[in-house]
Chains A and B, each alone.
Chain A
Amino acid sequence: MTTIYVPRDSAARSVGADDVAVAIAREAAVRGADVTLIRNGSRGLLWLEPLVEVVTESGRVGYGPVTESDVAGLFDAGFLAGSDHPLSVGIVEEIAWLKDQQRVTFSRVGIVDPLSLNDYEAHGGLVGLRRALEIGGDAVVEEVLASGLRGRGGAGFPAGIKWRTVRGAQSDQKYVCCNADEGDSGTFADRMLMEGDPFTLIEGMVIAGITTGATQGFIYSRSEYPDANDTMREALEIAYLNGLLGNGVLGSEHAFDLSLRVGAGAYICGEETAMLESLEGLRGMVRPKPPIPALEGLFGMPTLVNNVMTLASVPGILVDGSAAYQALGSERSRGTQVFQLAGNIAQGGIVEIPFGITLSELVNTYGGGTRSGRPVRAVQVGGPLGAYFPADKLDVSLDYEAMLAAGGMVGHGGVVVFDESVDMSLQARFAMEFCAKESCGKCTPCRIGAVRGVETIDKIREGVDRPGNLVLLNDLCDLMTDGSLCAMGGLTPMPVQSALRHFPEDFQR
């Protein structure tokens, strides 16, 4: 019997993985070949999707990108034995692009059957949770603190401090909320983990629950991710059936309930306090801080809010110990970051690697330049609120402090590449337009500033009093930066001003 993997990841499905899976099953039946088809997550080499893997004695041999019409030819060539074929990429684990990464958070994504708890345990799953149960909450907090793990959602706040604060808060009810509202363009790591290894997120949340004393958790996901939500719901059901959730987690005295909530199309709900409002069923309006959610969060109770990547990193940290995680990275950015290569890029996908890699290595070495083949002109890092870097300034080290010093931010790790056809005044306009559409409206700099920003950029583009309007635009950006209640209005100037700084010629056409 031969085992074949065809991803169920929605990116793979978006380019025909379902058709390929059906064709393989049909062809195998016709030829009387004994095959087991497993729908795995994606390995993250997205330009090779659909990437079909065949288990052979020497390892998992990959073929990609496979279309439905390639399938018969693959059988003819003997791909069930791992034979050579124009689409063969060899042993997948040996592909340098993958082999040179250091996957901690993504260690199982693409390898396991996402909804098999047995497969999960066979690949090191639940070891972190068992250790957490054994060493107790104080020791878990110490481990998370010592690992140097910082919030992967964008803000980079030390996770251990948050965990300690919630653990120390006195309350009859506490909550753990996973921010899976991955709205940044250029990011898809949360989605891929939820689709490819959902139990890791569940395990991380259970650990967070028993450590902080929270008995109820929520995953706040997006309606734009129907596949991830389906997979997550199934995984939750399996977790309940197997005693991972509910009363007596893994036979312990701890109880933890976990449910999935799905948003309704509002970028601002990725801001943690707006997310809490939305979880309460209300408009996603940003709350002023303090009080911090760790003390007064969901329904006014102490609440741990962490991103998917943060929570999913914890099981691995507990398995290998904080020292192993802390040993990775650079300066005050410890561990690995799951970068996502996106936009106009030849080799897009997931690169999990210690902090400190340069943007140039990511874009040129891993990414292989643009997909269009034209020169790279601009790279936006950290989502729609992140800075644009010009092609000659890509030698910046990707860690929290170095990016800040370079006028940007790591954010959620999204890297979006543009070729020379991009009009940066249009990108700056979009940043303001996006803010105008997605602002919650609570504070004036964001609500009105974004609208005025669009108008001012339009005037500049039309050539109306350019010198005056450029001064006005920079002044508006400074005001939004200083005066906004949250990162939405506060960081929208970052793409705008980086475009102005690095691409002034685009505002003079």
Chain B
Amino acid sequence: MVSRYSTWSAEAAQQVLDLLSEGERLILPALQALQHEFGYVPREAVGIVAKHVNVSVADTHGVLSFYHELRTSPPAPIIVSVCVAEACQANGSRELVTSIEQSIAPVGSRSADGSVDVVEVFCLGNCALGPAVLVNERLVGRVNLDSLTRAVATARDEVNA
């Protein structure tokens, strides 16, 4: 499968940072812009961001390591974010997670073929139609393993298109 993201290079990263507005010359928006472009924020980016925003490397690393969503290595083409919060628990998300672990990958890891990352999230705002998962940016409600498998297949087609 092809990546949805550009290939990392320090030069390309600098171009992304140069496009930030004045109000976005802050650590988090800079890291988010890089992740949006490259899919992750390599360690090498920390110094580049620190210099661009005019803060210390330590502060930049601190932000990078604080937010769950910021990644320091490339993601799989498909990310399955499973809601594991209370409203989805009430609708069987614990059982769903068990079957996802058996058929795709354990939470926090990648499928054997390298195409899917399974991550846990706390609440997708679909609490009346749980359990809910996000497959890349598509929300799937009242999900079971069948409908999840279909959603992953759709995402696979989109990534390959």
Residues of A within 8 A of B (CB): 10-11, 13-15, 46-47, 49, 182-188, 191, 222-228, 259, 261-267, 278, 280-284, 340-345, 348-349, 371, 380, 384, 414, 416-419, 422, 427, 430, 434, 438
Contacts and interface: CB of A to CB of B under 8 A. Distances in A.
A185 B86 contact: yes
B86 A416 contact: yes
Nearest to B142: A15
Contact of B89 (A224, A227, A284, A430): A430
10 contacts: A10-B125, A13-B139, A14-B139, A15-B141, A264-B67, A265-B121, A343-B127, A344-B90, A416-B86, A422-B90
Interface residues of B, number: 44
Contacts of B83: 185
A217 B141 CA distance: 33
Contacts of A266: 66-68
A38 B81 CA distance: 30
B29 interface: yes
A280 B121 CA distance: 24
Interface in B10-64: 23, 26-32, 53, 59, 62-63
Contacts of A185: 83, 85-88, 122-123, 127
Nearest to B67: A264
Contacts of A47: 128
Given A183-B123, A264-B32, A344-B90, A280 B26 contact: yes
Interface in B60-88: 62-63, 66-70, 81, 83, 85-88
A427 B86 contact: yes
Contacts of A427: 86, 89
A340 B121 CA distance: 20
B29 A281 contact: yes
B134 interface: yes
B128 A342 contact: yes
B44 to A, nearest CB: 20
Nearest to A49: B129
Contacts of B115: none
A204 to B, nearest CB: 20
B111 interface: no
Contacts of B86: 185-186, 343, 380, 384, 416, 427, 430
A123 to B, nearest CB: 24
Nearest to A225: B125
Contacts of B28: 264, 278, 281-282
Given A343-B86, A348-B128, A284 B134 contact: no
A46 B32 contact: no
A191 B66 CA distance: 24
Contacts of A282: 26-28, 59, 62-63
Given A186-B123, A371-B91, 19 more contacts: A10-B139, A11-B126, A11-B129, A182-B125, A186-B127, A187-B123, A188-B127, A222-B125, A223-B69, A226-B134, A264-B28, A264-B32, A264-B69, A283-B66, A342-B128, A343-B127, A344-B90, A348-B127, A434-B85
